[in-house]
Amino acid sequence: MASAHLLAGDAQLAAGAKDKARDHYRAAWVDRPISPAADSARQRERQLGPGMAVPPEKLLKRAEALLEAHRNHDALDQLSRIPVPSLCLGGCPGDRTPAGFLKAALAAVGAFPDEHLPTPEDVARNPVQPADPLACRVKLDQARGLRKEHDYARARNALAPVVLRCADPDVRARALFLLATLEGIAGKPDAGPLWEALAHKYPQSSLADDALFNQSLAERRAGNRDGERALLRDLIDNHLDSDLRTEAIFRFFWSYWTEGKGRQGLSLLDQLAAHPDPDGAEQERARYWRARVLLEQQPDESELARAAAREAARADLSWLVRERPLTYHGLLARGRLTEVDPALAQRIEEEQDKLLATELRSHRSLHAGGLARDPHLAAAVELLRLGLKLEASRELSAIDRSPARAAIDSQLGQEPLMLLADLYARAGDFRNAHALVRTDLRWLLRRPADALALRAAALAYPLAFRDQIAHVSKSASIPPDLLQALMREESALDPRALSPTGALGLTQVMPATARMLARRLHIQGYQTASLYDPETNIRIGGAYLGELYARFQHPALALASYNAGPGAVAGWMKARGGLPLDAFVEEIPLDETRGYVKRCLRSFAAYQFLYSNGRLPSLGQTLAAR
């Protein structure tokens, strides 16, 4: 689009329509700021001479596009240059005003107090003199950018005047949500009252259910289990369409389980198990924890009741091991079933060994179905025959997939899409191969194993960059499949991946961490751009994972520290290190890290299952970190 505007601008300029040319150049710069053509368009507009200033609304649109593309520094720079009234008297810290610059300088040396943070009473009141609406949006976006850069103190200072002075309910609710989130990250007790204020002030907001859920977490941290359960019940009963409802049901159970009253929460797990979510993950978690609860000896439980509970637990565990071997809870269930019924666990393993030996290694041809007439498919196949892999991948991306998607419920739709994924893999484009399976054929990965499902799994969990991984894993003393799993979850196997926080490449290493490791590894000529080189990135990321693995002596802890930092994990171990692995992971206080550990261990299990003859890794439930 930016290139089109650039060409259109050139055409208008050649025709003598200077103003129309300026409009096109400006549209390229504003609407597509990350396009290579954007800077060229801006330069050509400037060559036209002075014109009308870019409206502040357009500049904000450009800044928000940069923010969505994770170009945080560029976005913050653009936001600081938008001419809007300040929300603070004389200027907020960081504003481009004399007072703003002075406040920022004094704050940097601790000589200027933080902005007054809103109290629940402030939230309950409507602003007496509402600030400029555009200025409110600018300041909210500044806070978003600062949060993404982990500059939490400045982000809080940016949010305070938005909550105090802005009238737009959506802007104010979003600012309050972000402020409460930052207070929670900092471990401050102010977070709970702010969540409560958000839920009470804006009950119709799309963030009201988030506020209730996070307020329940604050009550839990304060030791108020009754308050926690009351808030969760409110969310479950009154927010039926909330995307947090299933998590709230599980956390309601968890509140009982952590008090040693797991049997009281069994009906909640039954509810989750009986109504599977589209992804299936909640059903798997519910059945695993139902088995865990049933395996716990109850006071005064009769032998008959005990035997019935163990049989029900065995049924859940065997279902997970048989039907969901490529999942996190399938991995945990394998270990538990081995303890409960080692003979059954062994039989299932032998069945899966046989299935993998026959089905996964079969090379049955796949039918193109409704895609057969697409000329791009024929072109891609011919280019592959000629060894032109990059060109073949481009042709595959140009194929219209709608005929296959229309028949996705049958093999007429499944096989053509599988064929595309297979051809992507043959072209060396593992990112698009496994992305296609993860989106269009994701449900196949949770289906009972058969030839098509196993083929989908092999494409969803490819052995990408395996030679480099094998070399680095050996020197770092880590399981190769663990590093492979981390790369899959960190970057989706995209060497050019860039995270919202600025992490780069296959293993998503932060530049500062990478510089330190590059010096330690004596990598000659290293610079930040080197992280886009797969070999360099894997070497650095693998070395870092190896250090964490050596320190914490457990895959789950190494992964958690890779995501949240070793200091955070050391603190969690000090507080909860006596818990078994499954409970420890559920108790990780950061949603992002908890989900990350589960996803990486799921991938670890899948790689081990697919490429180690159906044998899943043995993850000890005891966490013994040094």
What pLDDT band is residue 93 in, cutting at 50, 70 and 90? low
Predicted confidence (pLDDT) at residue 201 exceeds the cutoff of 70: yes
Exposure on the CB side of residue 352, measured as CA atoms within 13 A = 27
What is the average pLDDT value for the chain, to the nearest integer?
Answer: 90
DSSP state of 205: S
Residue positions counted in the chain = 626
What pLDDT band is residue 615 in, cutting at 50, 70 and 90? low
Predicted confidence (pLDDT) at residue 364 exceeds the cutoff of 90: no
Q: What is the pLDDT of residues 178-192, one digit of tens each?
A: 999 998 887 777 788
Ramachandran region, residue 388 (left: φ > 0; alpha: ψ -120 to 50; beta: rest) = beta
Across 365-369, 385-389, 450-454, least confident range: 450-454
Nearest to 132 by CA among 95, 102, 178: 95
> Does residue 156 or residue 445 have the better pLDDT?
156
Nearest to 567 by CA among 552, 545, 550: 552
| Domains present along the chain, CATH in parentheses | 1-52 (no CATH), 98-244 (1.25.40.10), 276-360 (no CATH), 369-460 (no CATH), 466-611 (1.10.530.10)
> Does residue 24 or residue 278 have the better pLDDT?
24
Nearest to 378 by CA among 410, 413, 419, 341: 419
How many CB atoms lie under 10 A from the CB of residue 77? 13
Cα–Cα distance between 544 and 558 in angstroms, integer?
10
What pLDDT band is residue 376 in, cutting at 50, 70 and 90? very high
> Does residue 225 or residue 187 have the better pLDDT?
225
pLDDT score recorded for residue 112? 45
pLDDT score recorded for residue 101? 56
What pLDDT band is residue 155 in, cutting at 50, 70 and 90? very high
pLDDT score recorded for residue 57? 96
What pLDDT band is residue 221 in, cutting at 50, 70 and 90? confident
Rg from Cα positions in the chain: 27
Element (H, E) at 4: helix 2-14
Exposure on the CB side of residue 298, measured as CA atoms within 13 A = 20
pLDDT score recorded for residue 355? 82
Q: What is the pLDDT of residues 485-510, one digit of tens each?
A: 999 999 999 999 988 888 999 999 99
Cα–Cα distance between 294 and 229 in angstroms, integer?
22
The one-letter amino acid code at 599 reads R
Predicted confidence (pLDDT) at residue 115 exceeds the cutoff of 80: no
**Where are the alpha helices (H) located in 500-577, listed in sequence order?**
511-520, 534-552, 555-564, 566-576
Token duo for residue 101: 């610059």
CB 272 within 8 A of CB 249: yes
DSSP state of 485: H
pLDDT score recorded for residue 190? 74
CB 397 within 8 A of CB 420: no
pLDDT score recorded for residue 147? 93
Q: 320 CB contacts (<8 Å, ≥6 apart)?
A: 284, 287, 288, 327, 329, 330, 332, 333
CB 153 within 8 A of CB 179: no
Predicted confidence (pLDDT) at residue 150 exceeds the cutoff of 90: no
pLDDT score recorded for residue 617? 62
Percent of the chain with pLDDT over 90: 71
What pLDDT band is residue 299 in, cutting at 50, 70 and 90? confident
pLDDT score recorded for residue 486? 98
Among positive and negative, which fits the CA dihedral 525, 526, 530, 533?
Answer: positive
Percent of the chain with pLDDT over 70: 93
pLDDT score recorded for residue 96? 61
Q: What would the DSSP string read from start to end of 333-372? A: HHHHHHHH-HHHHHHHHHHHHHHIIIIIT-------GGGT
pLDDT score recorded for residue 110? 54
Cα–Cα distance between 417 and 413 in angstroms, integer?
7
